């Protein structure tokens, strides 16, 4: 080791102090600088200096990241993924900031290559870098990014993608370092590539975040729905028993009192909208039914749902994602057709029922209609009762999935579509 580089060693120690403060800031931990920790800092500074001098070029940066990770694991005296992630975050942040400062320096200084060979100049640059790093990282933006990254610790898939991203970024940044300093165009080009990659990763992380939010909202919605259905069921039973009790009381009273009781009973005359409990079917289908029923109601169509699976206290699961998605699509198209047909009819009624029989689940959609139907061409491609450039929906659903059977019929003034699928029950 070159002993004339004592300033370099001191700069490295300083760098570890700054990293430690930065770590405390991001993780909100209280790692203090006591005698024992000073000793650890000294040891790791030696290791870092050795890495800078003696390691193979392309391993310097990855090794320095590993040294930082080990440093914090030693200080914390425990091993967990949060410490590792925080260390990687701090290391990469320092590399990115150093890289940005290098770019700015390359724009200002003409002969950077010569400057780079002078150790005192290099040490001075490092000092400036560490000071700059300390103040820059106090910006709330980095803290925000850090906290968001930490939320992804529970998601293995996302962590693996992030780890790959970290390694790519490290490699890319390192490649920038070993290229000729004078060649500014290469730097800028490399920086653009890295920025594009960072933007892609940020978009991906944003989608992951939005997905989590949606899941959370969905859980809240389902909980509220269950509470509502439970309350509705309690109310229904109470009302039923109350009304029957009124009958009994009325039967033992004289005519005058009976009239009074009848008047009182009118208060309990059900004016509630009857909403069926559909919590035992997959959530996506629940959302679809609620969504389509809202569309129908906006068109003044009476949309009534029933769920016999609930009455039989059965759940059902679809075998595979593909079948589920196809079933969803078929029900969606059928409901759209039902809404369009009912809208044109005089009575405007749609009835949606879920029932089961002989190990099959049936989705039955009944709707009123007022139309001209060619019984031989119905569900043929390009045939539609709704005008030209239509006529793909029924044909498309017919051939979508052979596991899902669709049967259509007309009973007097009602159009009935029966969609059936084998079920896997969980009782």
Partner 1 sequence: MLKFVIVEDSPEFQEIICKVIDKTIFKTENDYRIEKYSKYSSELSNTIKDCSIHKIYILDIDLGKGPSGLEIAKEIRNIDWDSEIIFITSHDKLFETVYRNLFNIFAFIEKFVSLESRLEDNLLKIISKKADYGKFYYSNNKIDVQIYYKDITYIYRDTIERKLVIKTSNNKFLLNKSILEISKELDERFKQIHRACIVNVDRVNIFNWSKGYFELDTGEKVDLCSKSFKGNISNGLF
Q: Which residues bind partner 1 (CB under 8 A)?
A: 236, 239-240, 243-244, 246-248, 251, 262, 265-266, 268-274, 302, 304, 306, 308, 311, 345-347, 349, 351, 353, 366, 368-379, 407-414
Q: How far is the CB of 280 from partner 1 (least distance, A)?
A: 16
The burial of 65, by beta-carbon neighbours within 10 Å (0-12 exposed, 13-18 middle, 19 or more buried), is given as buried
Q: Given the complex with partner 1, which of 196 and 373 has the nearer CB atom?
A: 373
Q: How far is the CB of 209 from partner 1 (least distance, A)?
A: 41
| CA neighbor of 128 nearest in space, from 25, 265, 18 | 18
Rg (CA), the chain: 35
Q: How far is the CB of 270 from partner 1 (least distance, A)?
A: 5
- From first CA to last CA, the distance across the chain in angstroms is 73
Report how far apart, in Å, the C-alpha atoms of 383 and of each of 191, 373, 379, 396, 420 are: 56, 10, 7, 12, 24
Q: Given the complex with partner 1, which of 243 and 392 has the nearer CB atom?
A: 243
Q: Given the complex with partner 1, which of 240 and 390 has the nearer CB atom?
A: 240
Distance CA 130, CA 98 (A): 9
DSSP 3-state of 200:
helix
Q: How far is the CB of 397 from partner 1 (least distance, A)?
A: 12
Distance CA 76, CA 70 (A): 10
Q: Given the complex with partner 1, which of 113 and 259 has the nearer CB atom?
A: 259
Q: Given the complex with partner 1, which of 251 and 389 has the nearer CB atom?
A: 251
Q: Given the complex with partner 1, which of 89 and 303 has the nearer CB atom?
A: 303
Q: How far is the CB of 316 from partner 1 (least distance, A)?
A: 18
Q: How far is the CB of 264 from partner 1 (least distance, A)?
A: 10
Q: How far is the CB of 284 from partner 1 (least distance, A)?
A: 25
Element (H, E) at 255: helix 255-265
E strand intervals along 104-217: none
Report how far apart, in Å, the C-alpha atoms of 202 and of each of 182, 209, 372 are: 31, 10, 54
Q: Given the complex with partner 1, which of 135 and 248 has the nearer CB atom?
A: 248
Distance CA 283, CA 99 (A): 48
Residue pair 360/315 in contact (Cβ under 8 Å)? The answer is no
349-357 vs 360-368, strand pairing mode: antiparallel
């Amino acid at each position: 080791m070159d002993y004339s580089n004592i300033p370099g060693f001191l700069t490295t120690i300083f760098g570890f102090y700054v990293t430690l403060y930065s770590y405390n800031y991001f993780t909100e931990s209280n790692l203090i600088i006591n005698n024992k920790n000073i000793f650890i800092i000294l040891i790791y500074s030696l290791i870092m200096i050795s890495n800078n001098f003696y390691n193979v070029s392309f391993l310097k940066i990855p090794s320095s990241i590993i040294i930082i990770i080990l440093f914090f694991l030693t200080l914390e005296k425990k091993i967990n993924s949060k410490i590792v992630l925080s260390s990687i975050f701090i290391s990469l942040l320092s590399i990115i900031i150093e890289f940005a400062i290098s770019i700015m320096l390359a724009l200002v200084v003409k002969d950077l290559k010569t400057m780079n060979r002078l150790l005192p100049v290099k040490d001075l640059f490092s000092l400036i870098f560490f000071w700059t790093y300390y103040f820059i990282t106090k910006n709330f933006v980095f803290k925000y990014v850090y906290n968001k990254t930490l939320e992804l610790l529970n998601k293995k898939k996302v962590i693996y993608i992030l780890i790959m991203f970290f390694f790519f970024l490290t490699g890319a940044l390192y490649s920038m370092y070993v290229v000729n300093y004078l060649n500014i165009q290469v730097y800028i080009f490399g920086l653009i590539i890295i920025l594009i990659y960072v933007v892609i990763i940020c978009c991906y992380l944003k989608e992951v975040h939005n997905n989590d939010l949606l899941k959370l909202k969905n859980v809240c919605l389902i909980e509220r729905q269950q509470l509502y259905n439970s309350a509705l069921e309690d109310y229904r039973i109470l009302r039923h028993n109350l009304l029957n009790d009124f009958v009994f009381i009325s039967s033992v009273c004289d005519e005058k009192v009976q009239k009074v009781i009848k008047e009182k009973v009118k208060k309990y005359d059900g004016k509630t909208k009857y909403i069926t409990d559909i919590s035992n079917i997959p959530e996506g289908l629940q959302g679809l039914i609620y969504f389509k029923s809202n569309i129908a109601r906006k068109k003044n169509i009476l949309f009534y749902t029933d769920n016999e699976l609930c009455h039989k206290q059965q759940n059902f699961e679809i075998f595979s994602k593909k079948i589920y998605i196809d079933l969803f699509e078929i029900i969606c198209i059928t409901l759209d057709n039902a809404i369009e047909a009912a809208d044109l009819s005089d009575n405007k009624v749609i009835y949606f029922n879920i029932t089961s029989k002989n190990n099959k689940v049936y989705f039955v959609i009944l709707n009123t209609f007022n139309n001209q139907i060619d019984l031989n061409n119905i569900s043929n491609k390009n045939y539609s009762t709704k005008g030209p450039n239509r006529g793909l929906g029924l044909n498309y659903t017919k051939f979508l999935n052979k596991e899902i059977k669709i049967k259509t019929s007309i009973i007097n003034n009602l159009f009935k579509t029966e969609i059936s699928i084998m079920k896997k029950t969980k009782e």
